[in-house]
Amino acid sequence: MTRSGHGVKTVFLDRDGVINVDSPDYIKTPEEFVFIPGSVDAIRRLTEKGFQIFVVTNQSLINRKMIPLETLDRIFDKMIDGIAAGGGCIREIFYCPHAPEERCECRKPNPGMILQASRKYGLDLSQAAMVGDSAKDIRCGRNAGVALSVLVKTGNGDKALQTLLSSDGPPDHVAANLYDAATWIIHRMTDL
């Protein structure tokens, strides 16, 4: 792996099931957005260690007309405010509003959101990690060329691990939750 000239390391985070408690009915209001214990502290630790943090999330409930964009913005505001209050920083949120049948380039497992962030911010993806709770998240990171993929067991992690083991192979690391993932990334990425 090549060391980037600027040395800035990046972490891409899925949202539902990684930062907040997921729901099979989607997160449709700010009130339904509840942080997973330890996720705010994890983002604070990554921020303090100098990582740039981006959220990359499929939000097809927009194009499915389940909620208006203004409501999604309010949910994102609640997340950003809660993370900031805990000492962390999300550089930007990239989201895909499309339903699977729209076959866009941004819906995970396609790498569009990560590649968009990389172009916008001049990121070195050999200095980046993707953290998610689904096979789509891990495949997205691999499709984009990030250095490390981490599966968290919150959300859909157990099911995703079985899917990956039977098809693509395991992620670089399996963590109990985002806090454990952040700890591993901090130690591991000092070697990249």
pLDDT tens for each residue of 156-181: 989 999 999 999 899 999 999 999 99
**Residue position matching structure tokens 């079985």:** 162
Where residue 191 falls among pLDDT bands split at 50, 70, 90? low
pLDDT tens for each residue of 29-70: 999 999 999 999 999 999 999 999 999 999 999 999 999 999
* Residue 183 pLDDT exceeds 60: yes
Interatomic CA distance for residues 159 and 137, integer angstroms:
13
| 82-89: Cβ within 8 A, 24+ apart | 82/35, 82/40, 83/19, 83/40, 83/43, 83/44, 85/40, 86/40, 86/41, 86/43, 86/44, 87/44, 87/47, 87/48, 88/40, 88/43, 88/44, 88/46, 88/47, 88/53, 89/43, 89/47, 89/53
What CA–CA distances, in Å, run from 67 to 26, 30, 103?
Answer: 10, 11, 21
The one catalytic residue among 16, 124, 133, 137: 16
* Residue 1 pLDDT exceeds 90: no
pLDDT of residue 7: 62
Where residue 8 falls among pLDDT bands split at 50, 70, 90? confident
Q: Answer yes or no: 14 catalytic.
A: yes
**CATH H-level superfamily of 10-189:** HAD superfamily/HAD-like (3.40.50.1000)
pLDDT of residue 190: 76
Interatomic CA distance for residues 75 and 97, integer angstroms:
14
Interatomic CA distance for residues 135 and 117, integer angstroms:
21
Interatomic CA distance for residues 29 and 146, integer angstroms:
32
The pair of structure tokens assigned to 108 is: 């995970």
The one catalytic residue among 14, 22, 133, 172: 14
Q: What is the pTM of this model?
A: 0.94
**Residue position matching structure tokens 């690391």:** 173
Where residue 21 falls among pLDDT bands split at 50, 70, 90? very high
Where residue 4 falls among pLDDT bands split at 50, 70, 90? very low
* Residue 182 pLDDT exceeds 60: yes
Q: Answer yes or no: 81 catalytic.
A: no
pLDDT tens for each residue of 64-96: 999 999 999 999 999 999 999 999 999 999 999
